[in-house]
């Protein structure tokens, strides 16, 4: 007997079906609520509302658990590569060596971007926001790949590989433009097309020289940890746009814009600005936190829309920051400040009572900074890492053949005006 929830409203009693997920999550299915009662639910920010069922990523926000297609993030961080994890997310299973090879070769084939697209970049001022350039270029891809516009996913593998390939080339070209240097032709970078080379090649397209293996590995880990995070703001945006049957490139360009916000992917820029300000002005971290508690500003990289525990990605990156700086023989005062902020905040009831812990952004910037990535490029690199997740979410919303996303509202504006 299927479980139901009983709702007594306006003298009526209705039974609403209960949906249970594979990890025991429970939902009251309100699909028929309005038809049966005339009522809708109201949930600003959708914090209690599931927009879909999904097989991609599972998060237990209370326990700080994160799994991609059932695999714990800690295991993937230790054993997988970004590209292998991208294939897992996009295709729904761990790729065989042959499948991975096919994926890697497709990406190698599609790495070059049309020179016309690079001209779009040249049209931007050097100091333009890298996220403005990225969203413009991702959407601009539609102009050079009209085949994308009408895909019914018959060539999904080719199209999704194009996006994974070109976002890397575009991100590197955006960096080069922002420092007044010409883009580096991917063809000029030797090296076999291998899963582990995706990130090393990216760094080479950015900085013009082959990175140390430990640096490439650290950035590959950052990309892997950012690859998906279920129905976060940018993934939900991607699904929302994809539900109108907009093409993959347009849906991911929309997701780039959602990620840009300082409350979401833009937080990795804000936390770095905060750490640099504390260091430059010699502010005592304890005093800085006093300002946070007086609500003068937020501590970026802390808190989360759903985690009420330590973000498992932050735990991994906290250790990686230590290891990368040690391997590069870099000592960054900002890491010490971040450690102090974390130590004091996690002992302070203001943060503990609100269940505010470090999130994925708190330590990622320190690692990217050690590699020479400028702060304003951090969210672009977040987008490179999140691209497989957006692609997987877009494919799922299309495969589910659902209705176009169209939330309801409760109108509270002026009633029945007469127009003079
Ligand atoms: C990402 O959704 C995802 O999965 C996102 C993401 C992903 O992988 O896609 O994980 C990536 O976006 C991580 C989050 C990055 N953002 C930041 O680091 C920005 C700083 N964090 C906050 O702005 C905040 O924590 C949010 C926006 C992330 C979440 O905030 P909520 O859930 O909307 O919580 P809230 O704003 O209602 O805050 C609850 C209380 C408030 O205090 P009171 O009104 O109860 O007194 O906690 C306080 C807030 O003022 N609070 C903070 C705080 N975050 C929340 N106080 C100080 N510093 C903070 N960072």
Q: Is 60 exceeded by the pLDDT of residue 13?
A: yes
Identify the pLDDT of residue 151.
Answer: 60
Spatial CB neighbours of 396, under 8 Å, sequence gap ≥ 6:
52, 54, 55, 56, 239
Query: Which DSSP helix (H) or strand (E) runs through 34?
Result: helix 33-37
Q: Average pLDDT in the 359-382 region?
A: 96
Whether the pLDDT of residue 7 is over 90: the answer is yes
pTM of whole model > 0.85? yes
Distance 305 CA to ligand 1 centre (A): 6
Q: How confident is residue 268, by pLDDT bands cut at 50, 70 and 90?
A: very high
Q: Which atom of ligand 1 is nearest to the CA of 234?
A: 9
Alpha carbon distance, N-terminus to C-terminus of the chain: 60
93 DSSP assignment: S
Question: Which residue CA neighbors atom 25 of ligand 1 most closely?
Answer: 303
Distance CA 267, CA 259 (A): 9
Average pLDDT score over residue span 6-21? 96
More confident residue, 243 or 2: 243
Tell me if residue 114 falls in helix, strand or coil: coil
376-408: per-residue pLDDT in tens? 999 999 999 999 999 999 999 999 999 999 999
pLDDT at residue 154, as a whole number: 65
Helix (H) or strand (E) holding 18: strand 12-20
pLDDT band, very low/low/confident/very high, at 23 (cuts 50, 70, 90): very high
> H or E stretch including 417?
none
Å from CA of 403 to ligand 1 middle? 31
Q: At residue 180, does pLDDT exceed 80? A: yes
The tokens 């890697």 sit on which residue?
Answer: 104
Q: 179 CB less than 6 Å from ligand 1?
A: no
pLDDT at 284: 97
Active site (annotated) includes residue 361:
yes
pLDDT band, very low/low/confident/very high, at 148 (cuts 50, 70, 90): confident
| Nearest-5° Cα angle at 14, 8 to 19 | 115
Rounded distance between C-alpha atoms, residue 275 and residue 5, angstroms: 49
Close Cβ partners of 216 (under 8 Å, ≥ 6 residues apart)? 196, 199, 200, 203
Q: What is the pLDDT of residue 86?
A: 98
Residue pLDDT, tens place only, 48-71 = 999 999 999 999 999 999 999 999
Cα(188)–Cα(308) distance, integer angstroms: 47
304 flagged as catalytic: yes
Per-residue pLDDT, averaged over 201-227, amounts to: 96
Tens-place pLDDT, residues 313-355:
999 999 999 999 999 898 899 999 999 999 999 999 999 999 9
What pLDDT, on the 0 to 100 scale, is given for residue 28?
Answer: 98
């Amino acid at each position: 007997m299927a479980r139901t929830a009983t709702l007594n409203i306006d003298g009526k009693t209705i039974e609403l079906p209960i949906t249970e997920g594979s990890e025991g999550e429970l939902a009251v299915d309100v699909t028929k609520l309005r038809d049966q009662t005339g009522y809708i639910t109201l949930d600003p920010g959708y914090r209690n509302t599931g927009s879909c069922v999904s097989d991609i990523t599972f998060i237990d926000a209370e326990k700080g658990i994160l799994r991609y297609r059932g695999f714990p993030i800690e295991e993937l961080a230790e054993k997988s590569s970004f590209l292998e994890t991208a294939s897992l997310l996009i295709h729904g299973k761990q790729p065989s060596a042959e499948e991975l090879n096919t994926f890697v070769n497709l990406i190698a084939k599609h790495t070059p971007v049309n020179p016309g697209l690079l001209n779009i970049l040249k049209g931007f001022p050097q100091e333009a926001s890298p996220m403005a350039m990225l969203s413009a270029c991702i959407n601009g891809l539609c102009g050079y790949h009209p085949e994308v516009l009408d895909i019914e996913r018959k060539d999904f593998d080719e199209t999704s590989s194009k996006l994974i390939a070109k976002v890397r080339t575009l991100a590197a070209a955006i960096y080069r433009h922002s420092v007044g240097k010409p883009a580096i032709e991917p063809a000029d970078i030797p090296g076999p097309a291998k899963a582990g080379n995706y990130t090393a090649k990216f760094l080479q397209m950015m900085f013009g020289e082959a990175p140390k293996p430990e640096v490439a590995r650290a950035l590959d880990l950052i990309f892997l940890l950012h690859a998906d995070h279920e129905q976060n703001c940018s993934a939900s945006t991607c699904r929302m746009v994809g539900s109108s049957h907009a093409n993959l490139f347009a849906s991911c360009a929309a997701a780039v814009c959602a990620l840009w916000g300082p409350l979401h992917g833009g937080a990795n820029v804000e936390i770095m600005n905060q750490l640099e300000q504390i260091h430059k002005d010699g502010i005592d971290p304890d005093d800085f936190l006093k300002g946070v508690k007086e609500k003068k500003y937020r501590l970026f990289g802390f808190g989360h829309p759903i985690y009420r525990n330590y973000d498992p990605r932050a735990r991994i990156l906290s250790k990686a920051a230590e290891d990368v700086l040690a391997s590069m023989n870099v000592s960054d005062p900002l890491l010490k400040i971040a450690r102090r902020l974390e130590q004091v905040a996690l002992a302070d009831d203001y943060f503990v009572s609100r269940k505010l812990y470090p999130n994925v952004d708190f330590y990622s910037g320190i690692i990217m900074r050690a590699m020479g990535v400028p702060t304003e490029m951090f969210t672009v690199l977040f987008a490179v890492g999140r691209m497989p997740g957006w692609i997987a979410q877009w494919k799922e919303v299309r495969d589910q053949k659902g209705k176009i996303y169209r939330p309801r509202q409760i109108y509270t504006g002026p009633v029945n005006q007469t127009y003079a």
